[in-house]
Amino acid sequence: MNLKQQYALVTGNYWAFTLTDGALRMLVLLYFYQLGYSPLELALLFLFYEFFGIVTNLFGGWLGARAGLNVTMNLGLTIQIGALIMLTVPTEWLSVLYVMVAQALSGIAKDLNKMSAKSSIKALASDGDGKLYRWVAALTGSKNALKGVGFFLGALLLELFGFANAMWIMASMLAIALLVSLIKLDGRLGKARNKPKFGQMFAHSPAVNWLSAARLFLFGARDVWFVVALPVFAASVLDWSHLQIGTFMALWIIGYGIVQAAAPKLIGRQQNPTARHAFWLALVLAAVPMFMAYALHLDPQTILVIGLLIFGVLFALNSAVHSYLIVAYADEDGTSKQVGFYYMANAGGRLAGTLLSGYVYQTAGMEACLTLSAVFILLAGLLALRIERPVQA
């Protein structure tokens, strides 16, 4: 298969996984809210999902560089199938701890799959002609659009088939994707010529380290109000139904993904983005949750909907620039080492954001979640500005 066919296969694999991952997130959130779980308890259900994402990105990047990215990608699909089947048990078995373990497996699977997909592009696209930037934006943007479809799919499957049957349907979808991947994906993809030692996972350039720290706060800023606080606020304050919540969040993620894929056109294709782009985009983005926190009491539904739309556009541009910079800064040989380390920081941000989303909302309300989001975004911008080496066009 040529490079474009391999890229299409990697993207298709990533799409199939992302669809079920988004659906699973919405299914777990809505189903256990329906069972009477508090915001903090809902956040705890995703604790292992995010924690093991940190561990997986670290070990997965090393494994991908040694064994090849086809191994880590197919392993991610296999583990996700197992996690979905775990949740098909009778309702009385679904304790908090049991669901946390299933979510841990899902978190491992998701970050193996994402790290593999993002790293593989380095071997499939060149940077000089802008192809790397366009392909990273297209992969990341389309993934997020499909995640939004997954949110809607999760809410719909819960309404039509119930929790357990939804798990069987998604496991069957992934089994087909796994079979295609096992047959078609190039076994040499992403394998380093010099086998890295595990200790090398922590030896990166200052640019990679600063960018990873910025990523941690950027995604913590999103999840601190989006993951738990937003759907609980919509259900308890705005009185939205499960399907309304799932549909709205799905449309938001889809729009976010479309903007992310179009980032090269929106930001400008004359040159590749730099750390300075990341800094200024963060400053503009931070103003949105800060204004929302100030004005939310005036008209909660209008401020939330309009604010989310603006936040989604700006956050997508921020994320697209970050996603490009890490792939561009990564070494040619064994790209997954740097990408895995970077997405370990990404998972750390999601973990902190998820826990804070449940705790801060339960103790201080949505306005506090939004204010904390603005602070995190400002920190992300300042950290990105510390990157010294520019990416050449």
Query: For the CA atoms of 104, 107, 112, 113, what is the dihedral angle to 10 degrees?
Result: 140
User: What phi and psi values does residue 187 have, to the nearest 5 degrees?
Assistant: -70, -15
pLDDT of residue 298: 93
For residues 281 and 321, the answer to whether their CB atoms sit within 8 Å is yes
* CA atoms of 123 and 71, how far apart (whole Å): 16
DSSP class of 189:
T
Work out the pLDDT band at 390, boundaries 50, 70, 90.
very low
* CA atoms of 112 and 364, how far apart (whole Å): 35
Is the pLDDT confidence value at 261 over 80?
no
- Determine the distance from the C-alpha atom of residue 41 to the mean position of all C-alpha atoms in its chain, rounded to a whole number: 21
Work out the pLDDT band at 277, boundaries 50, 70, 90.
confident
Is the pLDDT confidence value at 187 over 70?
no
If one counts every other C-beta atom within 10 angstroms of the C-beta of residue 88, the result is 14
Work out the pLDDT band at 393, boundaries 50, 70, 90.
very low
CA distances from 360 to 352, 354, 377 (A): 11, 10, 17
Tokens of 226: 């989006």
Is the pLDDT confidence value at 348 over 80?
yes
* CA atoms of 110 and 106, how far apart (whole Å): 6
Work out the pLDDT band at 210, boundaries 50, 70, 90.
confident
* CA atoms of 158 and 92, how far apart (whole Å): 17
Cβ neighbors of 198 (< 8 A, separation 6 or more) are 59, 62
Is the pLDDT confidence value at 384 over 90?
no
For residues 231 and 220, the answer to whether their CB atoms sit within 8 Å is no
Is the pLDDT confidence value at 128 over 60?
no
More confidently predicted of 274 and 269? 274
| pLDDT (average), residues 130-153 | 74
User: What phi and psi values does residue 363 have, to the nearest 5 degrees?
Assistant: -100, -25
| pLDDT (average), residues 186-215 | 65
pTM for this one?
A: 0.70
Cβ neighbors of 271 (< 8 A, separation 6 or more) are 393
Secondary structure of residue 310 in the 3-state scheme: helix
* CA atoms of 227 and 356, how far apart (whole Å): 10
For residues 262 and 319, the answer to whether their CB atoms sit within 8 Å is no
pLDDT of residue 372: 97
Residue 157 is inside which H or E element, if any?
helix 131-161
More confidently predicted of 311 and 96? 311
pLDDT of residue 330: 65
Domains contained in the chain, CATH given: 3-189+198-385 (1.20.1250.20)
| pLDDT-wise least confident of 84-88, 198-202, 259-263 | 198-202
Cβ neighbors of 12 (< 8 A, separation 6 or more) are 177, 180
pLDDT of residue 181: 80
pLDDT of residue 340: 67
* CA atoms of 141 and 128, how far apart (whole Å): 21
User: What phi and psi values does residue 82 have, to the nearest 5 degrees?
Assistant: -65, -40
For residues 338 and 209, the answer to whether their CB atoms sit within 8 Å is no
Q: 31-40, 210-219, 280-289 — which one is most confidently predicted on average?
A: 280-289
Q: What angle do CA 154, 71, 190 make, to 5 degrees?
A: 110
| pLDDT (average), residues 24-46 | 84
Work out the pLDDT band at 391, boundaries 50, 70, 90.
very low
For residues 292 and 309, the answer to whether their CB atoms sit within 8 Å is no
